[in-house]
């Protein structure tokens, strides 16, 4: 059975309600591909840039087990093994394979996964079966007209969709998937990238909608202007604070996100052991194609 939300607030560093609890996490970069094309996303294999979508390398599920073993030796306070990219965890089979292997050897560790939610209805039963405790779904809009400005297109079941057609499919699948896994007892956190020029007045509606479908907490992430949204502005502290307060009318709001890399490891704001784990196959910078 998945850990409860109350248990996660004690043992998962990302659910500690802003209180530094000295619990650590290790991100396992086993997911190289993605099936949606977000206009702000630039995934890379590189040793610099402290942001989501970046990793030093891609590892196999079998290598991930060894990484967890080494991470716990270096930092015994690690309580979470997570897959957060650099692509989408459900676009390729490797994340679920990884969690099956981890469950055999590290039954005590919290299993955490991030996804865009496009294929969540298809894989919800497997997500439940492998014992995921915490699932993060990125939902940037629940209005197709708004989402179409954020996500250029999707590839779903072998077909490429664009515009509002793609947005409708993505939104429907995200909400259906959130509902299914939350009803199974998995704690769902929703990430929403705040883009002032596009969804700045829409985040409260996202909060209301995902809460109605079972999400427990919302993480509003300030945009890093890059890729096709390099023209957009970075949300200021006042705007971010106001929108977080508006969202709190509907759902708990996460306020201490560090926008971690897909190969982050250690204690947030403290001991960082990622450089000792992911040093063997560092590649030159390379940008994945979207979709």
CATH number at residue 209: 3.20.20.70
| 291 falls within a domain | no
Q: Is the pLDDT of residue 127 over 50?
A: yes
| 134 falls within a domain | yes
Alpha carbon distance, N-terminus to C-terminus of the chain:
34
Given this model, what pLDDT does residue 22 score? Answer: 77
| 45 falls within a domain | yes
| 286 falls within a domain | no
| 287 falls within a domain | no
| 177 falls within a domain | yes
pLDDT digits (tens, 9 = 90+) for 244-267: 999 999 999 988 776 778 888 888
* Number of structural domains the chain divides into: 1
Given this model, what pLDDT does residue 16 score? Answer: 67
| 189 falls within a domain | yes
Q: Which one of 17-26, 101-110, 120-129, 260-269 scores highest in mean pLDDT?
A: 120-129
Q: And the tokens for 73?
A: 């030796």
pLDDT digits (tens, 9 = 90+) for 27-75: 999 999 999 999 998 765 546 556 566 777 899 999 999 999 999 999 9
Give the percent of the chain with pLDDT over 70: 89
Evaluated on CA atoms 143, 173, 189, 71, the torsion sign reads negative
pLDDT digits (tens, 9 = 90+) for 76-99: 999 999 998 899 999 999 999 999
Q: Is the pLDDT of residue 287 over 50?
A: no
Q: For the chain, what is the mean pLDDT?
A: 88
Q: Is the pLDDT of residue 205 over 60?
A: yes
Domain of residue 41: give its range.
5-280
Q: How many CB atoms lie within 10 A of CB 97?
A: 16
pLDDT digits (tens, 9 = 90+) for 16-30: 654 456 788 899 999
Contact assessment for residue 131 and residue 141, using Cβ atoms and an 8 Å cutoff? no
Q: Give the whole-angstrom CA distance, residue 277 versus residue 19.
A: 27
| 290 falls within a domain | no
Given this model, what pLDDT does residue 15 score? Answer: 74
Q: How many CB atoms lie within 10 A of CB 204?
A: 18
Given this model, what pLDDT does residue 4 score? Answer: 86
Given this model, what pLDDT does residue 286 score? Answer: 39
Given this model, what pLDDT does residue 157 score? Answer: 95
Given this model, what pLDDT does residue 53 score? Answer: 67
Given this model, what pLDDT does residue 267 score? Answer: 84
């Amino acid at each position: 059975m998945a850990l409860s939300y109350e248990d996660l607030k004690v043992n998962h560093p990302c659910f500690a309600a802003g209180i530094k609890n000295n619990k650590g996490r290790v991100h396992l970069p086993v997911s190289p591909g993605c099936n949606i094309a977000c206009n702000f996303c630039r995934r890379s294999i590189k040793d610099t840039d402290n942001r989501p979508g970046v990793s030093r390398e891609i590892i196999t599920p079998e290598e991930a087990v060894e990484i967890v073993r080494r991470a716990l030796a270096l930092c015994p306070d690690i309580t979470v093994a997570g897959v957060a990219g650099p692509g989408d965890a459900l676009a390729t089979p490797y994340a679920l394979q990884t969690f099956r292997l981890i469950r055999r050897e590290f039954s005590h560790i919290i299993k955490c996964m991030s996804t865009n939610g496009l294929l969540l209805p298809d894989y919800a039963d497997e997500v439940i079966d492998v014992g995921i405790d915490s699932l993060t779904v990125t939902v940037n809009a629940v209005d197709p007209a708004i989402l179409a400005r954020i996500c250029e297109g999707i590839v779903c079941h072998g077909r490429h969709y664009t515009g509002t057609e793609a947005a409708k499919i993505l939104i429907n699948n995200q909400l259906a998937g959130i509902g299914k896994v939350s009803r199974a007892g998995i704690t769902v956190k929703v990430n929403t990238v705040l883009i002032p020029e596009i969804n700045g007045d829409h985040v409260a509606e996202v909060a209301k909608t995902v809460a109605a479908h079972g999400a427990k907490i919302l993480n509003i992430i300030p945009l890093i202007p890059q890729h096709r949204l390099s023209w957009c502005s970075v949300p200021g502290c006042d705007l971010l604070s106001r929108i977080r307060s508006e969202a709190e009318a509907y759902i708990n709001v996460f306020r201490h996100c560090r926008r971690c890399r897909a190969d982050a490891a250690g204690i947030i704001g403290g001991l960082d052991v990622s450089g000792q784990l992911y040093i063997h196959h560092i590649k030159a910078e390379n940008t994945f194609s979207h979709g």
